[in-house]
Each structure stands twice: as structure tokens, then as C-alpha cells.
Structure 1
């Protein structure tokens, strides 16, 4: 249980509602910042402004999956209030306070480091990423069905990258009857693709490998689907880019060429916010329980 642990949840989308529910079940004391337009009332949680709470009493800060933007502004779907997280605010927290975010950026890294606090990026964890690959795959299948005029069965699909998402996407499209080829750089990934019964190719051969594909699914967060690569694709090819913004595709050239290219990061929160929220909530609750246990052992 998290009895008497004071957690500030700052901003977020529908996924954060599952986090709130889970932490209330564990008896945490919650301050909800950026939720003033949320109709649902939660016993054990208070909707407050950031300047209304005692910062020195906060044991943990939970940010949205997106963290902050480059100026420290936090996304607040359930409020018109602009919430900005600063180094000054973090510095006022107790030294044991931990900041949890889905992802980070230069701004957030800097203010946490300068405040000498710990930052945990949930989406860097294998468990979160693997669980999240499930709704990501379902969302990708949905997008391919919506934006093509052929069946996935018997289509030619190129998946770029064999990370945690790439592996799930490649396996699922193959299970639906697609002819799947997977591009990777590491020799161990090439070996794994072969073991999975799929067709491997090295990313240096990408221009040659896209000449006959129907769908290209990119999971690599670097520019790999370049203008040169797109110029070799058939005109009907659909590109679905699952990499974090700005993606790994030259979207300008794709539009110029008339090839449909969709940037689709954060699919779990779009297609299955409840499940995606439960994934985050379960991992977060475990981390907070470990934090509390560690604190009690050192007191």
C-alpha cells in the first residue's frame, strides 16, 4: 500500500485516469494538477493548482507520457490551465522525490539534473515498451486497413527495425498472411528475423527492397525513409511511421510524390487508452511501492 505517500499527477490524457484509479486503490494521497475540467470526482484525490500545494511534501511527481515540451509546458487535456514545470519547483521537493515521465527531452533532463533529483522514463523500460507494442500493433493494423484498398493477407509489407515494436508488428502482419520482410542493421537482428520465418535484409539495401512493396512500416526514430527511398516505391505504397516525432520519413517528399505517409506515434493512447493507461498504472504502482520500501529501509 502507498498510504500517506503524496503523489502529484501533473497533466495528461485519458491514460492518466487509469493511473489515478490505481493509486487511489493503493491509498496514495493524490494532488491532481491540470484536471479542473474532469467531471469525475475521486475520493482521496484533490484537484488543485500547482501553486496551491506544498511542494516540499511531494514524494513523487507523475508527468504525462509526453513529459514536457521544450519550454517546460505540460500537456493538460482536462484543463485550460497552462502548467509549466520549472527547476525551481523541482528543487523545492524533498530530496527523495522521483519524477516519472513517459519520455524526456533536453529541457526536462536539464532541470531534473540541476535539481539533483531522479527521473524515470517509463517508455525506456522493456516491460512498458513490450506491453505497449500490443495496442500499437492493433492500431497499425487498423490504419493499414483504413488506408489501403487491398487485404493485408498476401500483401507485401516491409517493417523497418526489429526493436520491441518492430518485432511485434512483423510477427502480427505475418500471422495475418502478409509477405513480411524486415530491415535491420545488427547481425543478431538479421538472425532473429530468419529464425522468425520472415525475410531479412540489411537497411543499406532499403532502396532495392522497397521496389515492390504495398506497405512500409517504420519503427526507427531516425531518417531512414528518405526521398531517395520513397522515389523507388510503387505509387500505391502506404507508409506508416510509428517512430516518435518527427518520425523517420521524409514526409514532404512523400506528399510531393503522392505517396500516403502517416505519422502515428502514441498509438496505444489513441486506439486503446484504457489498456495503455493500465499498462502505465501497473508499472508505476510497482515503482512507487519499491520507492516507498527503499525510503522506509533508509529511515
Structure 2
């Protein structure tokens, strides 16, 4: 249980409604900042004003998956404007406060470091990334179906990267009967792809592997689909870039060539916000309980 733990939510989207619900169920004290348009608020919660004094005594602060921008702005789909997370807000938090976000830009990293706050980037936690790869895969397949005039069955597909998302995506494509080639950098990933029945190749050979491709799925957050590569793709090919913005595709050249290229980061929150929220909730609650157990001298 989370009895006696004060959790604040600053901004967020539909995923956070599931996290809020789970925290209330476990008897946490929950305060919402930036939820002005959410009427009525979830049962068991209180709306707060985003002023430094109202952050005193908070044990856990949950920020949006994107954290803050480079100026400290915190987005919320439930409020008409944005909150700004400033030094005067952070100064009111206890050094023991846990701050959860999906990913942190330098502004948030520096702010938490200055005030000795423990920042946890959930998208770096293996269990979150692995679970999130499932709705990401489903969303990517949906986009592929919507933006092509062929079936995925028997399609020539390429998955770039065999990380947590690429692994799950390649499995899904293979299950649907697609021909799956996997572009990797590391020999162990090449061996893993081969063992799983895919056709692996090294990324240095990508330009030679795209001549007959129907759909390319990129999961690598670096420029891999360069103009040189795109120039060798057939005109009907579609690129679905799942890497975090700005992606790994030369979108300017793809447009010039008439190649459809779509940047699609953050698919879990778009295609399955309830499931994505449950994934975040389970990990956040586990980490809070682990901290509580350590403070109480439990193993």
C-alpha cells in the first residue's frame, strides 16, 4: 500500500489517468497540478495550484513522459496552458523526493541535480521499454496497413535495430507472414537475428539492401536512412520511423523523392493510452514501494 505517501502529478496525458487511479487505489494522497479542465477530478484526488508553497511535503512528483522542454515548460492536455518547473518549485521538494518522467532534457537533468532530487527516467527502465514495445509494434503495423496498398503478408520489410522495440516488431511482422530483414551494428545482434529466422545484415550495407523493400521500420535514434539510402529505394516504399524526434530519416530528401516517410515516436500513448498507463503505473508503484521498504529497513 501507498498509505502516507503524497504523490503529485504535474501535467500529463491520458496515460497518467491510469497511474492516478492506481495510486488512489493503493491509498496514496494524490494532488493534481495542470488538470484544470478535468471535471470532475478523479475520485480521491485534490487539485492544486502550481505555486512553490504547494509542493512542500510531496514525496513523489510525476511529470509527463516528455518531462519538460528546454525552458522548463510542462505540457498537460488537461489544462489550457503549460506549467513551468522552476528552481523555486524544486527548492520546495525534499532531497528524498522521487521525480518520475519518461525522458529528461538537460534543463530537467540540471534542475534535479542542483536540488539533489532523484530523477528516474522511465523509458530507460528495461521493463517499461519492453512492455511499451508491444503497443509500439501494434501501432507501427497499423500505420503500415493504413499507408500501403499491399498486405503485410509476403511484404518485403526491413527493421533497423534489434533493440527492445525492433525485437518485438520483427516478431510481429514474421507472425503476419512478412519477409523480415534486420539491420544491425553488433555481431551478437546479427547472430540473434539469424537464430530467430530473420535475414540479418550490417547497417553499413543498408544502401545495398533497400532496392526491393516495401516498408522500412526504423528504431535507431540516429541518421541511418540518409539521402544515399533513400535514393536506392523503390518509389512505392514507405518509411515508418519509430525513433525519438527528429528520427533517423532524411525526411527532406524522402519528400523530394516522393517516398512516404512518417515519424511516429510515442506510439504507446497514442494507440493504447490505457495499457501504456498501466505499464507506467506498475513500474512507478514498484519503485516507490522499493524505496519505502528500504527506508523501513526491509530487504
Q: Counterparts in 2 of 1:73-84, with a 5 A limit?
A: 73-84=73-84
**Does 1:255 find its partner at 2:255?**
yes
Residue 67 of structure 2 corresponds to which residue in structure 1?
67
Measured in 2, the distance between the counterparts of 1:81 and 1:155 equals 44
TM-score, length-scaled by structure 2: 0.97
- 1:36 and 1:48 in contact (8 A); partners too: no
Q: How many residues align?
A: 298
> Which stretch shows the higher mean deviation, 79-88 or 116-125?
79-88
Measured in 1, the distance between the counterparts of 2:92 and 2:53 equals 11
Residue 10 of structure 2 corresponds to which residue in structure 1?
10
CA deviation profile, 1:100-149 (whole Å, cap 9, x unmatched): 00111111111111111110000001100010011111101100000000
Q: Shift of the alpha carbon at 1:269?
A: 0.5
CA deviation profile, 1:204-258 (whole Å, cap 9, x unmatched): 0000011110000000001111111101100000000000111010111101110
Q: Shift of the alpha carbon at 1:55?
A: 2.0
Structure 1 pair 91–296 and aligned structure 2 pair: CA distance change class (3 A): farther
CA deviation profile, 1:136-193 (whole Å, cap 9, x unmatched): 1110110000000000000000100000000000111011000000000000000000
Measured in 1, the distance between the counterparts of 2:156 and 2:81 equals 47
Measured in 1, the distance between the counterparts of 2:77 and 2:71 equals 18
Q: Counterparts in 2 of 1:114-153, with a 5 A limit?
A: 114-153=114-153
Secondary structure of 2:278 counterpart: helix
- 1:28 and 1:44 in contact (8 A); partners too: no
CA deviation profile, 1:56-113 (whole Å, cap 9, x unmatched): 2010110011111111101110001320112331122112101100111111111111
Q: Shift of the alpha carbon at 1:52?
A: 7.1
Residue 228 of structure 2 corresponds to which residue in structure 1?
228
Q: Shift of the alpha carbon at 1:40?
A: 3.7
- 2:48 and 2:54 in contact (8 A); partners too: no
Measured in 1, the distance between the counterparts of 2:105 and 2:269 equals 20
Q: Shift of the alpha carbon at 1:53?
A: 5.0
Secondary structure of 1:61 counterpart: strand
Q: Shift of the alpha carbon at 1:293?
A: 2.0
Residue 21 of structure 1 corresponds to which residue in structure 2?
21
- CA RMSD between the two structures: 1.2
Residue 296 of structure 2 corresponds to which residue in structure 1?
296
Secondary structure of 1:213 counterpart: coil
Runs of 5+ unmatched residues, structure 1: none
Measured in 2, the distance between the counterparts of 1:132 and 1:87 equals 32
Secondary structure of 1:284 counterpart: helix
Secondary structure of 2:296 counterpart: helix
TM-score, length-scaled by structure 1: 0.97
Measured in 2, the distance between the counterparts of 1:97 and 1:151 equals 50
Q: Counterparts in 2 of 1:167-186, with a 5 A limit?
A: 167-186=167-186
Residue 113 of structure 1 corresponds to which residue in structure 2?
113
Measured in 1, the distance between the counterparts of 2:43 and 2:216 equals 47
Residue 280 of structure 1 corresponds to which residue in structure 2?
280
Measured in 2, the distance between the counterparts of 1:15 and 1:53 equals 27
Residue 245 of structure 1 corresponds to which residue in structure 2?
245
